[in-house]
Amino acid sequence: MSVIETIKEQLESNDILLYMKGTPRFPQCGFSSRASEAVMACGERFAFVNILENQEIRAELPKYANWPTFPQLWVKGELVGGCDIICEMAENGELEALIKETAANSEATDAE
Residue 111 has pLDDT above 60, yes or no: no
Concatenate the DSSP letters of all residues of 69-83 into one string.
SS-EEEETTEEEE-H
Residue 24 has pLDDT above 80, yes or no: yes
Beta carbons within 8 Å of 86's beta carbon, 6+ residues apart: 34, 35, 38, 39, 71, 73, 80, 95
Residue 110 has pLDDT above 90, yes or no: no
Write out pLDDT tens, residues 26-43. 999 999 999 999 999 999
Taking the alpha carbons at both ends of the chain, their separation in whole angstroms is: 30
Taking the CA atoms of 48, 54, 56 and 58 in sequence, report the sign of the dihedral they define.
positive
Decide which of 111 and 82 is more confident. 82
Q: CB-based burial of residue 102 (10 Å sphere; 0-12 exposed, 13-18 middle, 19+ buried)?
A: middle
CA-based nearest residue to 46, from 84, 86, 6, 85: 86
Q: Where are the domains of the chain?
A: 3-103
* Average pLDDT score over residue span 73-78: 97
Residue 6 has pLDDT above 70, yes or no: yes
CATH of 3-103, one of 3.40.250.10, 3.40.30.10, 1.10.10.10, 3.30.540.10: 3.40.30.10
